[in-house]
Amino acid sequence: MTQETPLLQATFNPRLQRYFFLSIALLLLVTVVGIPVLLIWLLGWGQWVTRLYYDSLQCSLTTRHLRFSKGHYFKTEKTIPLENIQDLTFIDNPLLKWFDLRILKVETAGNSAQTGADMKLVGIVGAAEFKEKVMRARDEFQESRMSGGPAARVDEDGTLSVLRDIHAAIEGLREDLKGKA
């Protein structure tokens, strides 16, 4: 396994906690079942849950992958190879604009319209710069593979050793057949 070089560690806007808190409060308010839970949410449980969630957010860009993890109790970890990233799109809504946040949606190869994005990153500080660095890293990775860079060499070395083993096995079989004839 090759060693990956970390290029960038994303930081998340602290306003994201308040955004999650109010988003869930609004959701609880519009549901009949959620109205009794809303009181508990507003009295402190919501602040505690959103702080734990915010503290668990991590996103990093390496030379080969984009990694994202979230969740305190229900953890989700996603790793997307750079060569599979097709596009990064910004999403805004009125609540996000009020908190000065953006959603960065990562779309990958083989991703159908029905399943949505493979990854949605909410509230990254400097989202536009992060997007540009991810796209630049993807382009550099693809160029290095095409020009026989480190990623291509690893694959060629592995393939070459397998081919040498196959060749040696075939030569051994030829010698065995000659000895029996």
E-state strands within the chain: 6-9, 58-62, 65-70, 76-81, 85-91, 103-108, 119-122
In angstroms, rounded to a whole number, what is the distance separating the alpha carbons of residues 125 and 71?
A: 19
pLDDT confidence of residue 152:
47
Element holding 134 (H helix, E strand): helix 127-146
Average pLDDT over residues 168-180: 85
The model's pLDDT over 58-85, given as tens digits with 9 standing for 90+, comes to 999 998 899 999 998 899 999 999 888 8
Q: What is the pTM of this model?
A: 0.69
Question: What's the domain range around 124?
Answer: 6-175
Domain count, the chain: 1
| C-alpha closest to that of 82 among 170, 5, 20 | 5
126 has pLDDT over 80:
yes
Q: Does any domain span residue 1? A: no
Q: Does any domain span residue 41? A: yes
Q: Does any domain span residue 24? A: yes
Q: Does any domain span residue 181? A: no
Q: Does any domain span residue 122? A: yes
The model's pLDDT over 34-45, given as tens digits with 9 standing for 90+, comes to 889 999 999 999
More confident position, 117 or 36? 36
Q: What SS3 state is found at 90? A: strand
Q: Does any domain span residue 155? A: yes
If pLDDT is split at 50, 70 and 90, which confidence band does 113 have?
low
Q: Does any domain span residue 100? A: yes
Q: Does any domain span residue 180? A: no
